[in-house]
Structure 1
């Protein structure tokens, strides 16, 4: 946690904090239940992997919603979210695909150490309903600011922690984001 505070949270005054409202939380819940073909959250709680799936799903979708609110555009395809279990959050701006990387507060963002093709927007999921949008990392920033995770059983070098928060490009609206995206 100390490393997270020293290397990431130190830049938090630059992050945009967005609150997710009750109606959005209900929409996330209903989408997850539809995806899993369940009637209510009680059925979800009967399955251990269902609870873990829902928590991950809700965090990712909360970050997408926060980004929609900040940019004041709608890009989430709710029907697609209700049918694809292993979706990866992303947004397309001016024909440029940008991944949305969700981080739990206190943890480093994880990058798969393969070909990094797209920039990423990092979002910290702080607690239920609170998301901090940290900024955009270019492909170059992603490639140059990685360190190996201590992951024991993992194949050496396949999962890396991103450490370039000081170099994130900050944006406050969709026009800012368009201006900082590489061409």
Structure 2
């Protein structure tokens, strides 16, 4: 169950206790250094509107929050935009990426290939984005074993066949009367 209104009031409290700040030069450089490379289908209808990097105050991890114009479910899901997250974990002293995690429809995905690729490409992980739904996928996600992948609230999920998902979504589940 989604509880966006309750979450909004909790965010207001957090922002009062710890207001947003202009990042230091070091934090800004760090967020640029480890920023993922985002790959989107050329036929993607919805644009990436914003990206917000949040650096963990203690752990060496950066959350990159991607805000899309919307997704294929609009207006049915009643969300004003689509929000996805990618996390990059790093070892600052070794100048290496140590973890690449993506949010994909209530599951957290990670692959060793994504980490290796990031370190071969100046610490910038490749993130593939699902057409229409914007689920984020690490490099070589398709090789993940469905039974051992990730738990979604105590229930196993399977990664859908992307070609099939594209075909389903390209027919559109959008409201036909919505612009």
Task: Tell whether the structures are fold-level matches, with TM greater than 0.5.
Answer: no
Higher alpha-carbon Rg: 2
Greater relative CO (CA pairs within 8 A, separation 6+): 1
Q: What TM-score results when the alignment is normalised by the length of structure 1? A: 0.30
Q: What TM-score results when the alignment is normalised by the length of structure 2? A: 0.30
